[in-house]
Structure 1
């Protein structure tokens, strides 16, 4: 009897922990989405032209990243629907049937790919479902998409492009840049906001070490 009660207690504890973790993730995505909407209401520094929009990709298998009002509304609508569905499935699973728990997990797995957005605003960069302020960026570099690159082979325009990798303290974010002109614009904006190119950051470290 004691073993059964202990087993039941462990199962219940695991389930409650799972619900709390999932709820925390949903709250994080919700708060992050509200912040993205707020940031995009301000002035956008880049892209300012349709051509620059068409030269940026977040995902190699999807269409170019967009920053137009229509694209933002479409992405936001899908994102909100996914959040509502996940919250509803989580509540239904907790109150009525635990069998629907997986239905709350599925939208969270795919939610990162719903916001196909890229924009530079005054205080940082909006990339997909992430907002990265300038102060959290450590360095950047443009990696040529050649035969050894993971994105090589998706399309001819990607094969001739670059992957822009922006390093944060613990993680990094990236996007695909398909034209040299757009690459130079991004490079200049990043440097103007105090973000060093990877080669520059390495050389600075070497100077410090030599001293």
Structure 2
């Protein structure tokens, strides 16, 4: 039992350190110039979570998100230390913020060397492809709002996982498409058509 709890503590410490280092890296990357979005209109056309307000890149919004993120991390570290030193029953209090922490950073930005989306920074070299999926009646995001129903889910694929956001405007979609292609990222439809061309030759 003691070995199992030690494993749980070490695992949670590793997760918290990952979130801490990742957050510091995000703050560093956002200090540089943002390539997209450059207008409030484009900013308003991107959502990370369908049930929340649009992704924000204003200094005030970033500070608010960062403040909540830091508070959640501090609470998790504090609860973990208290649980280890005084009462093992409070261990769950350290787990709760870790489960929800990824939802605190409602950010989207394309910077010079990659993409910031939510609590993740993805350098261009790690992006395999992208795809715009129409949000229709069968899509899980359908029904949240009229804007979302007429929009797209932008899925950005990495080697092991993918991240996504919602784009609610056709013009913003074309701008994103252009920037992604300029940075050497192929659209999924293009990748499929290229494979089909090779197979047919």
Q: 1:94: how far off?
A: 0.5
Distance 1:179 1:4, change over 3 A: closer
Instruction: Indicate how the Cα distance of structure 1 residues 44 and 99 shifts in structure 2: closer, same or farther if over 3 A, else same.
Output: same
Pairwise CA RMSD of aligned residues? 3.2
Q: Using the TM superposition, give the Cα deviation of residue 208 of structure 1 relative to its aligned residue in structure 2, in angstroms.
A: 3.5
In structure 2, distance between residues paired with 1:28 and 1:176:
26
Query: Aligned in 2, Cα 1:4/1:156: closer, same or farther, shift over 3 Å?
Result: closer
Aligned counterparts, 1:76-115, within 5 A: 76-115=66-105
Once the two structures are TM-superposed, the CA of residue 199 in structure 1 deviates from its matched residue by 1.0
Give the secondary-structure state (helix, strand or coil) at the position aligned to 2:131.
strand
Q: For the residues of structure 2 that align with 1:3 and 1:35, how far apart are their CA atoms? A: 33
**Residue by residue, what CA displacement relative to the aligned partner does 1:23-72 show, whole Å, maximum 9, x if unpaired?**
00000000000000000000000010000110000000000000000000
Q: In structure 1, what is the Cα distance between the partners aligned to 2:41 and 2:193?
A: 34
1:209 offset after TM fit, Å?
A: 3.5
In structure 2, relative to structure 1, the CA distance for the partners of 1:85 and 1:6 (3 Å cut) is closer
Deviation at 1:207, TM superposition (A): 3.2
Equivalent residues, number: 201
Deviations 1:105-153 (A, max 9, x none): 0000100100000000000000000000111111111111010100000
Aligned CA distance change for structure 1 residues 204 and 7 (closer, same or farther; 3 Å)? closer
Tell me the TM-score normalized by structure 1: 0.90
Structure 1 residues 157 and 95, CA, compared in 2 at 3 Å: closer, same or farther? same
SS of the equivalent of 2:105 reads coil
Q: 1:99/1:122 Cα in 2 relative to 1: closer, same or farther (>3 Å)?
A: same
Helix, strand or coil: the match of 1:126? Answer: strand
The 3 A distance-change label for structure 1 pair 74 and 7 is closer
Secondary structure at the counterpart of residue 5 of structure 2: helix
Aligned CA distance change for structure 1 residues 5 and 148 (closer, same or farther; 3 Å): closer
Q: 1:76 to 1:142 in 2, by over 3 A?
A: same
Closer, same or farther in 2 for the Cα pair 1:123/1:7, shift >3 Å? closer
Q: Which runs of 4+ in 1 moved over 6 A?
A: 1-9
Q: Which runs of 5+ in 2 are unaligned?
A: none
